[in-house]
Amino acid sequence: MPTVKLRVTSDYRSLGHDYKAGDEIDTSASLAEFFQRDAPGVFELVEPAVKALDEPPADKMVKKPARKK
C-alpha cells in the first residue's frame, strides 16, 4: 500500500490522532485524504525529494600524448 507524507501546519487532534505543528507523518492515501477533508489547511502534502543531478565526473579517459612537431 503506497504511503503519503504530510506536514502538519497547526495542531490537530481527532479520533486518536494527535499531531503538533511541524510534524511530518507517513500515512495511507485514504487517511491522508480524510485528514485533508476533515481539517483543510492543517495538512500539506510533502513532495518526495528529487535528487539533483550533479556535474558529471571529470573526464578520466587516457588520451594520446601531445605530438611534438
- The model's pLDDT over 1-15, given as tens digits with 9 standing for 90+, comes to 678 899 999 999 987
- The alpha carbon dihedral of 11, 24, 2, 18 has a sign of negative
Whole-number pLDDT of residue 62: 74
Indicate if the pLDDT at residue 56 is higher than 70.
no
Q: In the chain, what's the furthest Cα-to-Cα distance?
A: 84
Residue that wins the pLDDT comparison between 28 and 66 = 28
Q: Is the pLDDT of residue 41 over 80?
A: yes
What CA–CA distance (Å, rounded) separates 43 from 10?
Answer: 8
DSSP code for 36 = H
Residue 17 has pLDDT above 70, yes or no: yes
